[in-house]
Structure formats: C-alpha cells, structure tokens
Structure 1
Amino acid sequence: MATFFGEVLTFSSRAVDDDDDDDEDQSQPWIPSPELEWSEGINEEINKSPNKLLKCSNLIVTVGAAAAGFVEAYILQNEAAKIGDITAGKIDSEGSTARHQAHSNRESALFRLRTHPGVIVCQCKQEILAEQVFQWTEKIFSQLDTTSIEVLVLDSCPVQSYKAAVSISEIQTPFLRCLRSSPAHSQSQPSRVPFLESPNTVKGLSAAVLTHCQVSNLPASLYVAFLESMFIDLDSFKVFTPLLQSTVLSNITKANKTADNILKKILDERTLKDSLYI
C-alpha cells in the first residue's frame, strides 16, 4: 500500500553558518495562518455546547475542482446551508515569488446538510498552499467534536503522476484509488476501490488531513481520482459516483435526476472562466 505524508520537517545543516540561516529567513515571504470564521448561528451553537465544540458525525473534505463539482451536484444541491469559511489570508507580496502571489486569498467554504445536521462539508475548489495545510487542518479539527467522527476526503491529480508497472497509455482514465487511516481499516467495510499502490503517495491538504486522522486515531478514508488532463470534463466529476453506493455518502444522498444538468452547468461556467484572458 502507498503511504501518505503531511507536515514537512526541514533540518538545518551544520555546514551552514547561523548568519546565513538568518539571511535566508528574512528573504522568505510572510505566510499568514488560515482563519476559520463561523456564521453567527454556528458561533452561538458552539458557545452553548458543553465542550465548546461543534457536533460532527461526518466531515467531508473536497480538494480541487473535480471533487468540489461532484459534491456540489450530488450532496450540496438544495440540501446544505453555508456555515462558515476558512480563509487562507493575503500573502505579503514584498519579496515573494510569483507562485505565492498567485495563491493569495484562497478560501474554503463550510456547509452543513439540512437533512443530516451532523454532516459537515468543506469545499476547497482551489489549492491550499503547502505552507498552510498543517495549520488549516489543525484549525478545523480543533473546532469539531471528533468523539464519533468519520472523515471522507476526495481529491484528484493528473495521471502523469501515477507510478505503475505498465505504461500510462495502457491505463483507462479516469480512475480511483483509496487510502485509509488505521481506525478506518478496522471499523469500515472493505473498500470497493483499489488501494493506492506503492510507491505512489499523496500530498498537500489531503495528506495533512489523513495524517492528522492517523495520529489522532480517527477513521478517515481518502479517495483520489487520477485524471487524464488538467482540464475538467464530465468524466472528471463522475469518476467519484461509485462512492455514492460504497461509502458514508450512501446514507446521506438520494437519487438526483438533475445531477447531470448541474455538472454540465458547472463545467460550462468553469470553461468560460478558463477561456477568459485577464
């Protein structure tokens, strides 16, 4: 089975002078901590709870446009209320690289299902900076009552990053792979999705969430879709549909005859946005 990694630890070399370290630190851009802001009603609910935490039986985290679109069409449509945001904050542009400037002001929207109040969905349509994923994860889990929580993470990445014994051209795309924390292995039914083979790994926010759950002994399952292209199409969304029958989603979703129309609308809006020149 493949492994996952979250927080990256950097070690200083004894061959580098301490003054050199100080100069290097000063040249790095300031990376703000993510800020979690609940709606007024949720703040009141948290303050009234005995442990000052929000009850949550299922946390669903979507990373990227494909997973976000799937959840929007099959879970959030007419069944959810927005309850908060996690804002990545503005990154200091002085001395920063173009990459840092391009990733400022990233937000993750939080929703709660009206029909299942214990289910919270965090929708991250854009990438969270690698420097912020650990704090992002700590921020949200510190606000939730995880006594009986089950975590589901949906992510995607290009098939070019997939390592296999056969040529990528021989693999039918898109396809799903799975990783689980140890508690999920013992508590959940066997996965119908193949496990991610070694030496493949996952990274970013998905890895941070799964690592947190592993360390905290929480059941969590990550499903990553390997996509043929960076451009999203209907197949990119629908690769996640088997999860509607084989995961916790089977208990919180119902047949949605308009899902295809919603996905086409999302795709059209995204295509229009990607085609604009700024």
Structure 2
Amino acid sequence: MATFFGEVLSVYSRAVEEDDYDDLEEENEEDAQIRREIEEKREVHVRWCPEVSKTAESSEHLHCSDLIIAVGPSAAGFISAYVLSSEGWTQVGWASLWNERSRGSSRPDAAPQSGEPSFVIYQQNSCPSVLICQCTCYIAEDQLFQCAEKVFGSLQRRSLNVMVLSDSPLAEYRTPDYLNGSGTPFLRALKTSTYTGNLPCPLLEQPNIVTGLPAAVLSHCQVQRIPAVLFQCFTDVLHPDSVTMETYKPALSCLSASLKLEACPSVEVLHKLTRISDAQNNLYT
C-alpha cells in the first residue's frame, strides 16, 4: 500500500477482527438484555381497585376535578391527620415500584402493606371526583416521570386541577435575607402557566428549585396545560410535628371542591406520627 514517509499503519489479522466483532456483538446483546430486565424491574405500576377500574374502562378515563398529591412526611402527615382521619375516604388505588431504597414489591398486583412507606390513592365518598395521592416512599430519579405519567394516564384532563403539597428542609431555602427560627415553617408556591387561582403565600423566589416527584408532576402539568400549583413547606424539623402540618391549611383554600378539615385531629393519629419521629430521633435505638 502506498503511503507517505513516517505514517504508521495498523495491521490486524482478519481472524482476530472477526473474533473481536463477534465478542463485541455478544456483549452488546447481553448488555441490552440486562438493561431490559432492569427497566422491567424498575417499572412503576399503578393499580386501581375493581370498582374504579370498571368506571375508568367504561368511560376510558376516570373523571377527577381535584387531585391532591402529598409528598413527604410532613405533607402526608397533614393529609392523614386533618383530612383522611375524617370518615368518607376510601383507598381506591396504589403504586407499586422497586428501587434500591424502597421496601415495596415490584409486582404490579402487589398492594401496599400496612406500616410501610407507600404511594396510596384515596377517593372522597361524597364527591368521587376528588382524589388524594399520599406518597411517603422513595422514588428514584429514573422513576419520577413514569410515575407521574402512569397516575395522570388514568385521569381525564378536562376540568382537572392539581395541587401538590411537599416539604423541604429549611437549609435548602436560598434567600439573601436572614431567617430566624420564629419565621419557620413557611409556605412558598410554584404554579403552571394555566393556573389562575389566588395564592395564600408568596411565590418561590429564585434561585430556589424544586426537585423529585413535585417537580415531575408540575412539569407534566405544564406540558399538558393542566392547572397545577405546588405548595412547598420549608421547615427546620426533620420529622412531622403539629406546627409544620398546620402550615398547609391555607393551601386547601385554593381547591375548587371543599374539603372537610378536622379542627382537632385525632390524638391517636398525631400520637402515631410523633411516635415514629421519637423512635427515629432516639440516639439509643
């Protein structure tokens, strides 16, 4: 072969090249199979109870006027103590998923076990178009958007309003002004362009950002042009307490449907929430 002076040509045996190509092809097929198995295992499954499934199948999608999604221990604790503790709510669905930090099952028909973190969906008996999603389980980054898509995929988008309640450590709040302990906890809001309701708290200031499932839900609603608002509670406590949970009360005034709030939450429910916090804060357990 003609070449210029000083050029170094790499010469390979045809047999070696074919063997290397075959090995590379086998590795690629094996890697692809492993990726498919991992994706199947990490898939999020949303399952509804038979009554709701029949309703959704007959009308293609489940009618929902107000969807409340509570993410985090304080937000979920508020929903448990002030909303779900009153009679008139029924568990109608749940999400089953698996990841490195979850204790749930990856089986699509696996119902959440009592006492374990879970993603559970409740329906108001007197107004079936009002749904509450209570999420206290860890959802990995690669599962966030498919979790939002699976939940919204079963609901009608017409006349749907979404509210997300979430909690965040005070250390993650960015502000040029000094914050003293007397000013916490507090709410900040973030809304989609189609949301036109009045807000009971200031908007979230830059350069603060929202992450996790609340961000995935708000992004989905922004793309699908669904009116949605997020209320983020910034608190300096690690676990739910009565003061932090009460901070969410003004947020429910933005709902188009009226919810009955317990003026005095059940002592049993509050004791259960604080008992979990005490056990996790105990240095000797």
Task: Give the TM-score category using the shorter length.
Answer: 0.7 to 0.9
User: Structure 1 residues 275, 226: closer, same or farther in 2, change over 3 A?
Assistant: closer
Asked which structure has the greater RCO (Cα within 8 Å, sep 6+), the reply is 1
Contact 2:74/2:239 (8 A) holds in 1: no
- Listed as ranges, the gaps of 5+ residues in structure 1 are 1-18, 92-99
Shift of 1:70: 0.8
Task: Choose from 54, 76, 79 the match for 2:88.
Answer: 79
168-177 or 151-160: bigger deviation: 168-177
**Secondary structure at 1:252 match in 2:** coil
In the alignment, structure 1 residue 33 sits paired with structure 2 residue 40: no
User: Structure 1 residues 24, 202: closer, same or farther in 2, change over 3 A?
Assistant: farther
In the alignment, structure 1 residue 200 sits paired with structure 2 residue 200: no
**Secondary structure at 2:216 match in 1:** helix
- TM-score in terms of structure 1 length: 0.78
Contact 2:82/2:263 (8 A) holds in 1: no
- Deviations 1:127-157 (CA, angstroms, capped at 9, x unpaired): 3222211000010111111111000000001
How far, CA to CA, are the matches of 1:88 and 1:43 in structure 2?
Answer: 20
How far, CA to CA, are the matches of 2:234 and 2:31 in structure 1?
Answer: 37
How far, CA to CA, are the matches of 1:196 and 1:54 in structure 2?
Answer: 32
Quote the residue 1:3 is aligned against.
Answer: none
Task: Choose from 152, 157, 163 the match for 1:152.
Answer: 163
How far, CA to CA, are the matches of 1:176 and 1:63 in structure 2?
Answer: 14
- Deviations 1:108-135 (CA, angstroms, capped at 9, x unpaired): 1011001211001110023322221100
Q: Kindly, what percent of the aligned residue pairs are identical? A: 29
- Listed as ranges, the gaps of 5+ residues in structure 2 are 1-23, 105-116
How far, CA to CA, are the matches of 2:150 and 2:97 in structure 1?
Answer: 11
* Higher Cα Rg, which structure: 2
Contact 2:83/2:262 (8 A) holds in 1: no
Task: Choose from 117, 136, 140 the match for 1:125.
Answer: 136
Aligned residues: 241
Pairwise CA RMSD: 2.7
1:143 aligned partner, one-letter code: S
1:222 aligned partner, one-letter code: L
